[in-house]
Structure 1
Amino acid sequence: MKNIILLLVLVFVFLSCQDDEQGFDVMVSDVEIEFNEIAGGAVMRYHIPNNSEIFSIQAEYQNDFGEKVLKQGSYLNDSIILDGFTASRSEVPVHLSLRNERNEVSSAIQMSFNTHASASYAFFEQAEIRPYWDGFMLIYETPRYVDGYANVFYMGTNPMTQKLDTLLLKTFQIEGGRDTLYFPLEQVRDKNTVIVKTEDFKGHLVRQNIWNEVPAYYAEKMEPKNFKIDDPESIVFTDAASAVGWQYLFDGDTKGTQRYRSYRVEDKEFTFVMGPRAIGKHIILDLGENKIVAKMRFYGLLATNNWFNGFIWDNCCANKLPNEVTIMGSNHPENENSWQKVGYYKEPVALSETSWAFRVNDWASRATSYEELVAAAPCFMEVPFVVSEEPYRYYKIVVNSVFTAEYGINSPEYVTFHELEVYSKKD
């Protein structure tokens, strides 16, 4: 009897061993598989038959950083992203196998896939470093699929050691599509060395490039003694009795100190107004000489305890200040085809705490004395200009729209800005 039982046990063990050797006998070929290139890798799409015992599919490959990668996809999904690649690749080997619910693995087969360059690698295919005012600008264009960060450095003096060093300016996530970033530099040099390094989301260094001897353009405020405003559309409001006219744009008063002192004495404004029906129309600033302009600043009257009265203001100044401006340059203003777009600024039309003109309308932070007004920081809108070697004498200023405030309706479409400063390329 004991011999019979022992024999049965041996037969059972033998059969079990045979089952183990057979394992999971479903083939990878039973699954529909295709590969599609994407930036930095490929998408492996698969279709597992509903009547199969396949629980998951797994892909094993080596990425561009020498790491072995294992990716798995269950029967509940239909794709796996095979990532970890930099430059575009062809015929990347991948080993595919299947698993069932008992975690048994099928025999593996080898297939291959192709990849497109990753965004952090392709970043440099279209990346440009160009001179900009007080620094440089970075222009880049990448695929829509993003996969990493860019680190921007320049060679400068380390404030800790007072020695030349690689200084980090900014780290940012690479966005799909085209973008332009501006980098003003505190350290003044005639030429700069710029280094850009990219990395993927896992911290791998992907690629870097160095731009040497990037020219730096610096700007200085122009003296306005030869400035004048031309008014081809007859929209400049002039009233000598109220001290309203274009000459007050260049008197150096950026906050409204003259208006504050004269309030309730002479009832004068000492400011600049356009209208009615000035929105969408233009004036022309004549510099008196040809200059390469870097930027223009448009100032607003600061809020004080002297409120905005009169038919122009209607108790509100902010809803007459520009939120969108276009500036064009020319040396032949009579020729409409000669005007070139050189500057543009836009922000949301609804006045808020983030608006450049907010303190013009903020009763809570108003200056209640002349001394407070003098000590207060001015508020202004700064319109940046493209870098150009073409100097212009005439600049067309178009106010495309003005802010809307919680109260006050600017039905007559008046436009105002209190002071105008021009900054040109430093000789």
Structure 2
Amino acid sequence: MHPNLSFEQAPPIWVPYRFFLTAPLFGIATGLLLAWSGPEALASRWTPAALALTHLMVAGFMLQAMCGALLQFIPVAAGGNIWRPTLVAGVVHPMLAVGAALLAGGFLAGPGPWFAVGAGLIVTALSIYVVVVGIALFRAPARGATILALRVAIAALVVTYVLGFTLAQGLRGVGGIPLLEFTHVHAAWGLGGWALLLLSGVSYYVVPMFQLTPAYPAWLGRLLPWTLLTALLLWATQLTGEARAWHSWVLLAGLLAAGLFALVTLRLQAQRRRRVPDVTLTFFRIGMASLLVIVLAIALITVPPAPTFLPVREWAVPIGILTFVGLFVSVITGMLYKIVPFLNWLHLQRLGGLTVFPPNMRDMIRERAMVWQMRLHLAALAALLGAATWPPLTAIAGLLFAASCAWLEWNLLGGVRVYRTFRDRIRAVDACHAP
């Protein structure tokens, strides 16, 4: 176990769990919506269904999981003091969930009042979240690559939702903003800033801890956040409404930094001390392999001279599938399969003391169930990529992805059931020994 973990500062277990258990529900909704929408949803990244699917994944699945993880990670791993985490989670979690659902519905039905309400709920919830988490993070006593990456990630989150709210107003006809350029910058700050930097910052800590690999090199921890931040700031100059030729090279620099993170992670995993098969390791490798393919594909189609056999329009949807499902859903799922058993063990150990010992972490969620869910996830990813080129596969791909997320939800609920069972057993033993 990592020597610098501050177990005494861990928030109540239901603070992160409410986010973790909600995230797969948005994945289920994404898959069902894709199956219902049919091939039209994958015809272009700009269709109403495609925009709804994207925001169910980003503002639903990913945001729920990442916000819950930070509320747990900052106090335990960084030593930061989250102000009243139960209250913050109780306010932020439902606002994010309802806001994401309304936002997705607004893309389907048109930017009406519910669309504006959804965007407003998300912005309000994230503003509260950023203030509380940002104060804790910037006051945290810890230093190093993880803290730097998380601080830049929080700043990127602010830029992302400000741009997103501005876009929402533009879609409703308020103001005259360049929608295409705002969309490009919004997506870059959300995926390349907030999501990727959060992933890297947490990985610096949990990959060596849970996967028993060597530590990440210090130079990568310094290089990645500053390179990505510089690239994002230069990329944002598109907001003037005029894209320039050198923007392609800015994009390439950011992509190379992301690809370098993936290569280093795969190299460290190849050097792990324990060779026992591990589901989390496999999910991580799927994510890093997807990231490398994404980097290569975007570099080929955007940096001149681009090959004529790689038209941007036809590759946009497969790249999006690899980004959301191949990279982020894979890595988030793998992390949840480690974080939930670890939190169970941590809180049960604190409750039980020396009277009742918690089960082994590997017994919190059945290994066989995780392996089969991983196989279903891979089948869904393959089907989604196939549907991007052969539309009749769309409904099957959507149902497979919904089933994969439903299985993830069931496995996480199984971990929660183990926690409740042993918690009740500990309380019963304490009651018997009470004077």
TM-score interval for Structure 1 and Structure 2 normalised by the shorter chain: under 0.3
User: Which of the two has greater helix per residue?
Assistant: 2
Instruction: Name the structure with the higher strand share.
Output: 1
TM-score (normalizing by structure 1): 0.20
Instruction: Determine which structure has more spread, i.e. the larger CA radius of gyration.
Output: 1
